[in-house]
Chains A and B, each alone.
Chain A
Amino acid sequence: MSTNSDPLIIAGKEYSSRLLTGSGKYQDLEETRLATEAAEAEIVTVAIRRTNIGQNPDEPNLLDALPPEKYTILPNTAGCYTADDAIRTCRLARELLDGHDLVKLEVLGDEKTLFPDVTETLIAAETLIKDGFKVMVYTTDDPLIAKRLEEMGCVAVMPLAAPIGSGLGIRNPYNIRLIIENANVPILVDAGVGTASDAAIAMELGCDGILMNTAIAAAQNPVLMASAMKKAVQAGREAFLAGRMPRKLYASASSPIDGTFF
């Protein structure tokens, strides 16, 4: 049970953390574990790949470092370029995780930019939703497509802020805002965050959460950056809820003008 008064609700389940993390690009599983703990993430995304046949059978497993009893494991379809591959990956993931049906759908269209292939994404989302999956979908920052994915039944829509792994920050805050204003499901920025201020900006726009991987894993000190991201997401959320002051062109004195003795 969450004691948080402002929980993130995805597919009917409450989470107190609005920072979702990836588990890729870390030096080793110990660093993965420590960074995930420092981020206080509750939802962690993982990739599904072939088991290495003939390798050391005692090789440590990612799910030992990130036990599904402790974390909500969010299998992703990273690396899929067709709807069919993404659907196969989700079905294997559901079997792997004993029927767990929350997935991150991403269908990529281009190796250089890793931009989503929206057409294939729509096809995959439709099949997966019919098949009983709860789909958190990675997409472009197109407000119409975001709405369409919501109407199809995706449980969360996750527009990119900049290309995956680019760390370029929130490139189009106006589109992200339009997506948020029209949405009835959680909107999470997925991809593009480079440092803590980017995370705060996304949350101040009203995002319900952020999913990030490289910004933490590729930092000089990933565990410290994970802690910074946790605080930035919390600070950005509080600032959004608090409502920022209006921007003004000219100054407005903070100290009273009355009572001066000079």
Chain B
Amino acid sequence: MNIMLNGEPYEISEGATAQNLIEQLELVGKRLAMEVNQEIVPRSTFHEHQFQTDDHVEIVHAIGGG
């Protein structure tokens, strides 16, 4: 199924969880935060959170800024 990941279409298997996505992106253990359809998905719930078709997923991290 298709989701929007950081503004780009992204193909992910049916029933995939937030944890599956993080593993697929090789981001395990990184300091990041995720929101789906503008709602925070706490890291503690990554294993349970399943995506739906057309979910808008944002994964963010800290970068240099003033």
Given A49-B60, A50-B6, A53-B6, do A95 and B40 touch, yes or no (CB 8 Å)? yes
* Contact assessment for A25 and B64 in the assembled complex, using a CB-CB cutoff below 8 Å: yes
Q: Which residues of B contact A51 (CB under 8 A)?
A: 6, 25, 27, 30, 32, 59-61
A103: CB under 8 A from chain B?
Answer: no
Q: How far is the CB of B65 from chain A (nearest CB, A)?
A: 3
B48: CB under 8 A from chain A?
Answer: no
A: contact size bracket: 35 or more
Kindly state the separation between the CA atoms of A50 and B65 in the bound complex, as whole angstroms.
13
* Contact assessment for B64 and A23 in the assembled complex, using a CB-CB cutoff below 8 Å: yes
Q: How far is the CB of A16 from chain B (nearest CB, A)?
A: 22
Kindly state the separation between the CA atoms of A45 and B26 in the bound complex, as whole angstroms.
27
Q: Which residues of A contact B35 (CB under 8 A)?
A: 88, 91-92
Please pick, from B6, B33, B65, the residue contacting A95 in the complex, using a CB distance under 8 A.
B33
Stretch of A57-65, A116-124, A179-187, A253-261 lying at the B interface: A57-65
Please pick, from B8, B58, B65, the residue contacting A23 in the complex, using a CB distance under 8 A.
B65
Kindly state the separation between the CA atoms of A62 and B63 in the bound complex, as whole angstroms.
6
Kindly state the separation between the CA atoms of A88 and B38 in the bound complex, as whole angstroms.
7
A241: CB under 8 A from chain B?
Answer: no
Q: Could you mark each residue 48-81 of chain A with 1 if its beta carbon is under 8 Å from any beta carbon of chain B, else 0?
A: 1111011001000111000000000101101000
* Contact assessment for A96 and B65 in the assembled complex, using a CB-CB cutoff below 8 Å: no
* Contact assessment for A164 and B66 in the assembled complex, using a CB-CB cutoff below 8 Å: yes
* Contact assessment for B40 and A91 in the assembled complex, using a CB-CB cutoff below 8 Å: yes
**Closest B residue, CB atoms, query A191:** B66
B: contact size bracket: 20 to 34
* Contact assessment for A76 and B40 in the assembled complex, using a CB-CB cutoff below 8 Å: no
* Contact assessment for B26 and A96 in the assembled complex, using a CB-CB cutoff below 8 Å: no
B5: CB under 8 A from chain A?
Answer: yes
**Closest B residue, CB atoms, query A75:** B62
Kindly state the separation between the CA atoms of A212 and B62 in the bound complex, as whole angstroms.
18
Q: Which residues of A contact B63 (CB under 8 A)?
A: 46-49, 62
Q: Which residues of A contact B60 (CB under 8 A)?
A: 48-51, 92, 96
**Further pairs besides A50-B58, A213-B65: 20, Cβ < 8 Å:** A22-B64, A22-B65, A45-B66, A46-B62, A47-B63, A48-B61, A50-B6, A50-B59, A51-B25, A51-B27, A51-B59, A53-B59, A57-B26, A61-B62, A76-B65, A78-B66, A88-B35, A95-B43, A96-B60, A96-B61
The 11 listed contacts between A and B (C-beta, < 8 Å) are A26-B64, A32-B64, A45-B66, A47-B63, A47-B64, A51-B60, A57-B27, A57-B30, A92-B35, A93-B62, A212-B66
